[in-house]
Amino acid sequence: MSSVNVSELMRILSAELRQLAEATENLHDVVFAEGEIKGEGIRVVQSIDRTQQTLENLADFMSVLGEDMSENLAVAMENALAQVRLADLKRRLNMDGSSPLNDNAGSDAGDLELFG
């Protein structure tokens, strides 16, 4: 079982959260595309704002934690990575450079679900 540097893991998680914050902020374009916002739309915009701000705050929090951690601190990743179903996310988190763990990621990559 391999272990990874926690400081580096925090940096990667912070970057992932930052990307999610940016994607969440882009949801405003979808909401505003329908014109004037009224009623439930206002609550949706407020929810988008809150989610985006929370993701940014968590990204900052994890970044600073990672900077303040000992470079010698390491954690085993196998059990945690087994919970990640998105193949591309699993590859980014799997910092030792090996292929995703043997969890049938190839048969059910979980990369995208479209709802009709």
pLDDT digits (tens, 9 = 90+) for 33-90: 767 777 777 888 899 999 999 999 999 999 999 999 888 899 999 999 999 999 999 9
What is the share, in percent, of the chain residues with pLDDT greater than 70?
79
CA separation, residue 113 to residues 80, 82, 97, 106, 109 (Å): 22, 20, 27, 16, 10
What is the share, in percent, of the chain residues with pLDDT greater than 90?
56
Q: Can you give the pTM of this predicted structure?
A: 0.74
pLDDT of residue 108: 46
Task: Evaluate whether 86 touches 111 at the Cβ level (below 8 Å).
Answer: yes
Nearest to 5, CA basis, from 71, 81, 84, 93: 71
